[in-house]
């Protein structure tokens, strides 16, 4: 299976007044064509920064300091702003949390879809409206002809997220990055939106990167999961493998902190400690070490993510399930 996206050694630093923040450090993962990969981690672990870096949407303070992001043959991190603008929305699209504020408040939603279609050659001035209606129907919006003229504030959050998906799907991209797409939506709408994304992906053979802090959601929707912690990818494995045999202590903690249908509230455990300070140069090699109960003397030594078994890579000196 060929890769839709291959991210290699992506590092990002933010230049702030308080110093340089090393937000991402040698992040690597791949997404196969048509595959759903979940990026999971707590807030601040660098999931969204990874997505923005790939899309070239980092704010001015953020700088990619190393790495490649290969979309087919194209390195997105080395592409010029102009060529990147032609790729965004066309070959790789993105949807966001808070769909209502992520849409232009004073432009009819149909026009916003048509803007993207016209930009990427999917429609002309003459058929843009018809194409927008078609797109709204495809994402299951009732009465699409009338809804093209609606403004975001006239639609519910779930409807707005469908519009976002219609915008993202406008040019049939190879890859969709969904950044917390269901955060802020009610539970039934969450399921509908996720079903819709899966359906669209299945129809067009599109790969999906699902960014979420919700391991349960990732487990349900993704074929593979990459666990992120403090700007590192600490573990990548197939979903079933990761849930059954996590090898990184943080992944294990994360699984223990995720509610299940069978479990009780008392069984839930929080992950102790907080994310380390990522400013300056003196960041520990293993950024989880300070929170880890398996910490040993050599945890400060240089850490390389490696494949512990086929399709299961980790970044840990003393992984679980292996004799120490």
Partner 1 sequence: MRQVLLRLAAALPTLCGVVVVTFLLTRVLPGDTATYFAGPTASAEAIEQIRRELGLDLPLPEQFWRYVVALTKGDLGMSLTTGQPVRAEIATRLPASAELTLCALVLAIAIAMPLGVLAAVRQGSLIDHACRVLTTAGVSLPVFFTGLLLVYVFYFVLGWMPAPLGRLDAFATAPPQVSGFYLIDTLLAGDTGTFRAAAAQIVLPATTLALFALAPIARITRASMLAVLGSEFIRTARASGLSGPTVVITYALRNALLPVVTVLGMVFSFLLGANVLVEKVFAWPGIGSYAVEALIASDFAPVQGFVLTMAVLYVLLNLGIDLLNRAIDPRARHGA
Task: Give the binding site for partner 1 (CB under 8 A).
Answer: 55, 57, 85-90, 93-94, 96, 98, 101-107, 115-116, 119-120, 151, 153-154, 164, 167-168, 170
Nearer to partner 1, 124 or 269 (CB): 124
Rounded to whole angstroms, the Cα distance separating 287 from 278 reads: 9
Nearer to partner 1, 6 or 52 (CB): 52
Rounded to whole angstroms, the Cα distance separating 161 from 152 reads: 10
Q: Least distance in Å: CB of 214 to partner 1?
A: 21
Q: Least distance in Å: CB of 55 to partner 1?
A: 6
Q: Least distance in Å: CB of 260 to partner 1?
A: 33
Q: Least distance in Å: CB of 154 to partner 1?
A: 7
Nearer to partner 1, 105 or 310 (CB): 105
Q: Least distance in Å: CB of 171 to partner 1?
A: 8
Rounded to whole angstroms, the Cα distance separating 214 from 2 reads: 28
Q: Least distance in Å: CB of 188 to partner 1?
A: 24
Question: Which CA distances in Å does 258 have to 13, 16, 215?
Answer: 30, 34, 7
3-state secondary structure at position 264: coil
157-168 vs 109-119: helix crossing angle, rounded to 10: 10
Nearer to partner 1, 104 or 269 (CB): 104
Kindly give the pairing relationship between strand 3-16 and strand 74-75.
Answer: unpaired
Nearer to partner 1, 94 or 136 (CB): 94
The residues, ordered by sequence, that sit 6+ positions from 85 with a Cβ below 8 Å of its Cβ are none
Nearer to partner 1, 103 or 286 (CB): 103
Q: E-assigned strands of the chain? A: 3-16, 19-32, 36-40, 62-71, 74-75, 92-95, 175-179, 207-212, 224-229, 232-238, 306-309, 312-314
């Amino acid at each position: 299976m060929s890769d839709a996206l291959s991210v290699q050694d992506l590092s990002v630093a933010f230049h702030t007044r308080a110093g340089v923040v090393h937000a991402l450090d040698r992040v690597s993962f791949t997404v196969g064509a048509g595959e759903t990969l979940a990026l999971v981690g707590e807030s601040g672990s660098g999931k969204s920064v990874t997505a923005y870096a790939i899309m070239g949407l980092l704010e001015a303070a953020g700088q990619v300091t190393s790495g490649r992001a290969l979309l087919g043959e194209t390195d997105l991190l080395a592409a010029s702003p102009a060529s990147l603008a032609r790729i965004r929305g066309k070959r790789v699209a993105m949807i966001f949390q808070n769909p209502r504020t992520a849409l232009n408040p004073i432009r009819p939603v149909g026009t916003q879809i048509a803007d993207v279609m016209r930009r990427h050659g999917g429609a002309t001035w003459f058929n843009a409206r018809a194409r927008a209606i078609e797109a709204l129907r495809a994402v299951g919006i009732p009465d699409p002809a009338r809804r093209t003229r609606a403004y975001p504030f006239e639609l519910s959050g779930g409807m707005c997220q469908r519009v976002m998906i219609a915008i993202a799907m406008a040019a049939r991209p190879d890859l969709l990055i969904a950044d917390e797409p269901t955060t802020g939506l009610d539970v039934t709408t969450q399921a509908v939106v996720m079903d819709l994304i899966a359906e669209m992906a299945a129809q067009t053979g599109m790969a999906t990167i699902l960014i979420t802090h919700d391991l349960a959601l990732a487990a349900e929707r993704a074929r593979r999961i990459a666990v992120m912690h403090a700007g590192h990818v600490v573990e990548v494995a197939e979903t079933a493998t990761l849930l059954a045999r996590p090898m990184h202590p943080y992944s294990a903690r994360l699984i223990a902190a995720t509610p299940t249908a069978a479990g009780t509230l008392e069984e839930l455990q929080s992950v102790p400690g907080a994310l380390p300070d990522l400013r300056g140069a003196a960041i520990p090699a293993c950024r989880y070490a300070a929170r880890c109960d398996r910490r040993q003397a050599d945890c400060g030594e240089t850490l390389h993510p490696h494949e512990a078994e086929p399709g299961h890579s980790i970044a840990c000196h003393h992984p679980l399930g292996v004799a120490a």
